[in-house]
Structure 1
């Protein structure tokens, strides 16, 4: 594979993208910094196909990224391969309003191949290529220029290894017949709604004990205010106000701006400055959270009483056994919330009762809750067993 020198000019990038646009797939990775900003600061983009690889410097003066962004978001003929690509996809979305498509995530694919739920990149490379990655440049400041050759080599290695792993992984998936299992997961990853960061739903990320509509309404209002302040100043949310302070303000709202000086976690200067005034305006304008937006009770799932909770526990045990038997990560088969809904009597709208998940797990799960399946210990191993009623039938 030919590895190019660091790409810093538009003509070279455009020529590379023209060639990459003819590839079956490209491996993609990014390096970024986000410790001191709201928006992740894109510092490096790495791309490789089976023939050539390059690191691209988005901070280079005058570099036009348009051909690369077009390749990532508008070329449906080239598969984009990431590893744990959520943050990489978010960066592309922030730049374009679109997500890379079609895409393939090797961390998700590893779940279908029995390599755990969140295998790290270095472990993936070791398991597929027998290569131990030098992590010396892992925590480098990618925003500093110039980058030295060791940093560039480390970054490009992320995609050259991935370009070798992906075809092998794809072949294994084809042999096991599990490739189609991943289609839904990859489409979910590519859904732009996952990366939109709507200020009106920012409150859902803040932990708060209260379920009072007025408290949650204030939380929604001030979480939205914080999101907009953070965006406008390009600062992390926590630099504006930490989550625990937001929850405290929502539960115990100050009556006047001067009271902000007494709030733990806020600067005393907020008692008289403009940002404090904007916070008070957000609190004053907040109304009760509508019933339609109230979060579900965590301790009272629909119809899930004490017996239902025990059934849900049995379903989780069944999930572990089934995942072990077919050598797949449990999370790929089913989520805990779906098991609880199944235990509570829901039979529609559950992914475990559709398609391959039904064939591999949902059928047995349904049999368990409806009394046609049980557990037995045979040879020291816990196994599933059909009831006499099912056997007779």
Structure 2
């Protein structure tokens, strides 16, 4: 029998959850988790309040029993990472891309053998894919998802009993959900389909943004060029430095819309910028003006152009024919979706249909594109080929 320090909460808490805050507890927990065939997994981060973002809670369930690990109390979580990488243990997540990327970012964790209940629900034809909706549909379990708690600053300690219960409920039913949904997927002959999707999810890794070109992705700035783009780059770098020094997300320092407004008219009056707020005051605005001056004195910036591929050029007639073919291919895909009661978008990538509509003779080449899954080729490749040949004849 193992013993962990317990938190005692208000009477409204239905179940006392294990909260892991020291090395001895973590060691005992990892020994227990390592002996399981499957565990539920979720995290809570602080990206809405802090910068850079970091993982603030790691929730793991064994059967229907949730454990909450406080990563802020540990310097080394290698033993936990070994469990996540263990191919003999299924890690059950819900919409787990964010969780896996975050754990990759903060701890360089890698994953093997993942089951995502959101993906499973999509392949079962569920119309709503939120955790609460999925649990209600497939387990008839009701879990309240309070948006207020979802947007909490999970850095703050001590956590309230309400917050801990919220976090625990994110993993409490995942093992049961996987078992139920796996049976349904097998009965429909779709388990191999989701297995390929899960393998792709397992391979997800965090990729840091390229600081040299990140400013080009500021929302609403695509048409900004030259000297104005040089100003935007300086403003972006200034905001990034401010965000790090203040430990606040960049969007809470200066919004993209304000950066763009200033870059478009760098010598304009700040009073004319909607939402300028605090940055319109004398001292902050003088700091911004220094940054603007640096941008105006810097060499103009040329936005990188997309590679001009001669092969991608189509005449007006060819483009018109491609549009007709694309509509036909989408009708084909929707027909299958209606028959299987599935969202058509999961049956074949839209980007692939776009390419095939333009270059229908490249079918074999398209089958080698990594966007196209093996299960899609096996189930629908022949039908798609017939459709393209018929439409191109």
Q: Distance in 1 between matches of 2:147 and 2:321?
A: 53
Q: 1:219 to 1:310 in 2, by over 3 A?
A: farther
Where does 1:35-54 land on structure 2 (aligned, <5 Å)?
Answer: 35-40=48-53, 42-50=55-63, 52-54=65-67
Q: Structure 1: where are the runs of 5+ without partners?
A: 374-388
Counterpart in the other structure of 2:323: 309
Q: 1:153 to 1:9 in 2, by over 3 A?
A: same
Residues 347 and 376, structure 2, Cα contact 8 Å, conserved in 1: yes
Counterpart in the other structure of 2:135: 125
Q: Distance in 2 between matches of 1:183 and 1:281?
A: 52
Q: Distance in 2 between matches of 1:224 and 1:187?
A: 37
Counterpart in the other structure of 2:333: 319
Aligned-pair distance for 1:223?
4.4
Residue 48 of structure 1 aligns to a residue in which SS? strand
Moved more, 102-111 or 199-208: 199-208
Counterpart in the other structure of 1:288: 302
Aligned-pair distance for 1:72?
5.3
Q: 1:315 to 1:355 in 2, by over 3 A?
A: same
Residues 234 and 292, structure 2, Cα contact 8 Å, conserved in 1: no
Residue 38 of structure 1 aligns to a residue in which SS? coil
Counterpart in the other structure of 1:238: 251
Q: 1:174 to 1:279 in 2, by over 3 A?
A: farther
- Select 1:330's aligned residue among 344, 350, 354: 344
Aligned-pair distance for 1:110?
1.7
| Normalised TM-score (structure 1) | 0.76
Aligned-pair distance for 1:28?
0.6
- Select 1:364's aligned residue among 351, 371, 383: 383
Give the CA RMSD over aligned residues: 3.6
Residues 74 and 101, structure 1, Cα contact 8 Å, conserved in 2: yes
Where does 1:161-200 land on structure 2 (aligned, <5 Å)?
Answer: 161-192=173-204, 195-199=207-211, 200=213
Q: 1:36 to 1:107 in 2, by over 3 A?
A: same
Residue 272 of structure 1 aligns to a residue in which SS? helix
Q: 1:96 to 1:288 in 2, by over 3 A?
A: same
| Normalised TM-score (structure 2) | 0.76
Aligned-pair distance for 1:344?
0.8
Q: 1:232 to 1:312 in 2, by over 3 A?
A: farther
1:19 paired to 2:38: no
Q: Structure 2: where are the runs of 5+ without partners?
A: 1-14
Residues 39 and 175, structure 2, Cα contact 8 Å, conserved in 1: yes
Residue 139 of structure 1 aligns to a residue in which SS? helix
Aligned-pair distance for 1:152?
2.6
Residues 14 and 67, structure 1, Cα contact 8 Å, conserved in 2: no
1:110 paired to 2:117: no
